[in-house]
Chains A and B, each alone.
Chain A
Amino acid sequence: MLDIIDEPHEMLLDNYISNIKRKKWENNYTIAEETVKLFRHFIDTIKWSTTKELLNQLRDYGMKITSALPLQFIVGNIVRRILNIIREEYIDARKNTEEEIDLQDSLHKIVSSEDDIDDYNTIVPELKLSIFEHLDEFQVEIESSNEDIAKQALEHIHSNEIILTVGKSSEVEMFLKKAAKDRTFEVFVTECAPLNHGRQLALNLSKHKIQSTLIPDSTMFGIMSRVNKVIIGVDSVMANGGLRTFNGCHAVSLAAAHYSVPVIVLAPMYKLSSRYLCSYNQDAFNEFVSPDGVLNYSDSVVSKVDVYNPTYDYVPPENVTLFISNNGGHSPSYVYRLLSEIYHPLDYDLSIH
């Protein structure tokens, strides 16, 4: 655990980046939590008088971190979320009304031609305090997100159903365990080669007295006709409702579509990203990791063949039936709405001031 108070910020930042790069924090949840902590500390150490200054400094800082960690969409999500929190708090303080404020551009706003240009230059006393309060709430939201998702388990898993899941995701594990308290059901877990995290999940579930069967990835299609639901975790939800998730999920979702099996995706709000997949050749979308899991280094063939080991799959939104977030269930076509609720459109691109 880092000691946040005593270390100077630069050291903290270096630590943060190297921990993520070296995959010390494998879990997205940990990354999210640490990012909020880092930003809390940053807001606390920098000097600013107007909100605009604060926003600009944060955007620069966010830009710096996201370009150091281009593959971690979560970091960008948290940065944008924090920027939005500051905007909300500022406007809240300025307007002093109970009314809900819509920060979004809308046709309604254009037609009513409201003067919506607030340059965030007014000095608001106590803003820092309210920002920190809001950040506390945000931290609690992240902490409890898995539990909030698990709470909805009974609405989706019914008795004697057969569930298929891919690899290991902490959200899915908690979800299934929660449902098992009241229902009996069967789970098929695919191994998810080359990392084979699925084995661990199958083990954990069977310890919890859930009837679970581990299957190789290749048999997934054969099993699918018997499956009632596919429940998977995700790395990030893209802005169009598509998924960036562990490899193998696209094949599973296609098999599910073939047999008309619903695909349910468990995604806490902090995994919602404002990015799109513009092309499969896009930079900073997929990560190629060591071929170790595919081919053993001691094998003499290793120098004679090319081995690729990509980490992620893109699943298009058509193949997703439902997202379950800590705020409830949403269809993929509704993602744009969630996105506009939690991020400000001006923050999508951090490089523009």
Chain B
Amino acid sequence: MLKEEVSRYYSDIMEKEPDVSASIAAISTLLKLLEHDKSETVQELDLNLQSAVEVITNTSFRVTGVSSGCALFMRFITFAKLDNITFADCKKVMLDRGKVFLKKLTEARNKVAKITLPFFVDGINILTHSKSRVVLEAMKLAVNSQKRFHVYVSESAPDKSGIEMYNCLKKLSIPCTLILDSAVGYIMERVDMVMVGAECVVESGGIINKIGSCTMAICAKELKKPFYVLTESYKFSRMYPLNQKDLPNNFKYTANNLNDDNLLNAHPSVDYTHPSYISLLFTDLGILMPSAVSDELIKLYL
């Protein structure tokens, strides 16, 4: 597979399948590459995959979720290649396991929705930020289970993804209200809990998410409202940012912005929320406290 093909395949998924997250898109692209790859040695395969990861990272889409997905895939390859002697055997095993792997990953969202269900207490008011597929899935399940609740959605500038979320909720006939980003402090006293998704969960248990999440979390903490994060475990990533400045530039800015000389004028698209603001993480591995994230990552990467 050529670089252009990788790029096209990935862009195709990102554009045509709005239900697929960036991590999954990256992983399925890499699996596709693995299928068509003609390399003869593990080393060559590694190199090919790495160059494909680079291609994916350089597309015009946001890359926050991509890094954890790619890292997970490389780890998956490492586990598979340890077990077999000949390369042909190894590749067959990789492809077989790849399918199981992808299936497990795609089941994750449903699992998260299920464990979140008991938290939708009757008549609850929920605040959410931007558009998150997991949060939407959880709310869909809740409304289908005859739960009564009201959702406040912040508009989420600059891409106004909150409006998209609002429309999706409307379509599911979930009572919802669109609010301004600047009204988060105003609305906080009225809500019972905050529920957001995450683009990436870092080792400290903090999250990297659409800009404005951090503001919301700080606000929630001050008014003592629980701040829940719904996320799939494949978004766990081996990073340890200590503050906003630590976030890699390609997370915060799109590829177009990065070429500009002066990043001061560019608006960052994600921010980092410290784990002390997060009450619980709802993942397909169960309901976790922020400190559990490092545990999971250590188990995987040690």
Interface set of A (CB-CB < 8 Å, partner B): 104-108, 110-113, 115, 239-241, 276, 278-279, 281-282, 333-337, 340, 345
- Main DSSP-derived SS at the B contact region: helix
Contact A111 B121 (CB under 8 A): no
Contact B101 A107 (CB under 8 A): no
Contacts of A336 in B (CB 8 A): 286-289, 292
Contacts of B76 in A (CB 8 A): 111-113
Contact B105 A110 (CB under 8 A): yes
Instruction: Spot the interface stretch: B10-18, B37-45, B293-301.
Output: B293-301
Whether a CB of chain A sits under 8 angstroms from the CB of B255 is no
* 21 A-B interface contacts by CB (under 8 A): A104-B285, A105-B284, A106-B285, A107-B236, A107-B285, A108-B296, A108-B300, A110-B104, A110-B105, A115-B100, A240-B289, A241-B289, A276-B280, A278-B118, A278-B121, A279-B124, A281-B121, A281-B122, A333-B291, A336-B287, A345-B286
Whether a CB of chain A sits under 8 angstroms from the CB of B97 is yes
Extra A-B contacts (20), CB below 8 Å, given A107-B233, A108-B299, A115-B100: A105-B284, A105-B285, A106-B296, A107-B236, A107-B299, A110-B101, A111-B72, A111-B75, A111-B101, A112-B76, A113-B76, A113-B98, A113-B101, A240-B289, A279-B121, A281-B121, A334-B291, A335-B289, A336-B288, A337-B292
Contact A276 B119 (CB under 8 A): yes
Contacts of B295 in A (CB 8 A): 337
Whose C-beta in chain A lies nearest to the C-beta of B205? A333
Contacts of B104 in A (CB 8 A): 110, 113
Whether a CB of chain A sits under 8 angstroms from the CB of B79 is yes
User: Chain B 266-302, CB within 8 Å of chain A: the 1/0 string?
Assistant: 0000000000000110001111111110011101100
Complexed CA–CA distance, A279 and B120 (Å): 9
Whether a CB of chain A sits under 8 angstroms from the CB of B181 is no
Whose C-beta in chain A lies nearest to the C-beta of B78? A111
Contacts of B236 in A (CB 8 A): 107
Contact A112 B79 (CB under 8 A): yes
User: Chain B 61-72, CB within 8 Å of chain A: the 1/0 string?
Assistant: 000000000001
Contact B286 A282 (CB under 8 A): no
Whether a CB of chain A sits under 8 angstroms from the CB of B192 is yes
Number of B residues, CB within 8 Å of A: 35
Contact A278 B119 (CB under 8 A): yes
Complexed CA–CA distance, A105 and B285 (Å): 6
Contact A111 B300 (CB under 8 A): yes
Contact A282 B121 (CB under 8 A): yes
Contacts of A106 in B (CB 8 A): 285, 296, 299-300
Whose C-beta in chain A lies nearest to the C-beta of B286? A345
Complexed CA–CA distance, A111 and B79 (Å): 8
Whose C-beta in chain A lies nearest to the C-beta of B82? A112
Complexed CA–CA distance, A115 and B101 (Å): 10
Complexed CA–CA distance, A335 and B287 (Å): 12
Whose C-beta in chain B lies nearest to the C-beta of A345? B286
Whose C-beta in chain A lies nearest to the C-beta of B118? A278
Within 8 A of A (CB), among B53-107: 72, 75-76, 79, 97-98, 100-101, 104-105
Whose C-beta in chain A lies nearest to the C-beta of B279? A240
Contact A340 B286 (CB under 8 A): yes
Contacts of A239 in B (CB 8 A): 287
User: Chain B 132-171, CB within 8 Å of chain A: the 1/0 string?
Assistant: 0000000000000000000000000000000000000000
Instruction: Name the contact of B280 in the complex, choosing from A112, A240, A340 (C-beta under 8 A).
Output: A240
Instruction: Name the contact of B233 in the complex, choosing from A110, A276, A278 (C-beta under 8 A).
Output: A110
Contacts of B119 in A (CB 8 A): 276, 278
Smallest beta-carbon distance B237→chain A, Å:
11
Contact B297 A107 (CB under 8 A): yes
Contact B296 A107 (CB under 8 A): yes
Complexed CA–CA distance, A335 and B288 (Å): 10
- What 3 A-B pairs have minimum CB-CB distances, sorted nearest first? A279-B121, A113-B97, A113-B100
Contacts of B75 in A (CB 8 A): 111
Contacts of B289 in A (CB 8 A): 240-241, 333, 335-336
From B286, B288, B297, name the one whose CB has the most chain A CB atoms within 10 angstroms: B286
Complexed CA–CA distance, A279 and B72 (Å): 36
Contacts of B290 in A (CB 8 A): 333
Smallest beta-carbon distance B227→chain A, Å:
13
Complexed CA–CA distance, A281 and B192 (Å): 11
Contacts of A107 in B (CB 8 A): 72, 233-234, 236, 285, 296-297, 299-300
Complexed CA–CA distance, A340 and B299 (Å): 15
Contacts of A115 in B (CB 8 A): 100
Whose C-beta in chain B lies nearest to the C-beta of A340? B286
Complexed CA–CA distance, A240 and B227 (Å): 13
Complexed CA–CA distance, A105 and B296 (Å): 10
Smallest beta-carbon distance A322→chain B, Å:
15
Complexed CA–CA distance, A336 and B236 (Å): 18
Whose C-beta in chain B lies nearest to the C-beta of A317? B289
Contacts of A333 in B (CB 8 A): 289-291
Contacts of A279 in B (CB 8 A): 121, 124, 192
Whose C-beta in chain B lies nearest to the C-beta of A281? B121
Complexed CA–CA distance, A336 and B290 (Å): 10
Contacts of A105 in B (CB 8 A): 284-286
Whose C-beta in chain A lies nearest to the C-beta of B192? A279
User: Chain B 191-228, CB within 8 Å of chain A: the 1/0 string?
Assistant: 01000000000000000000000000000000000000
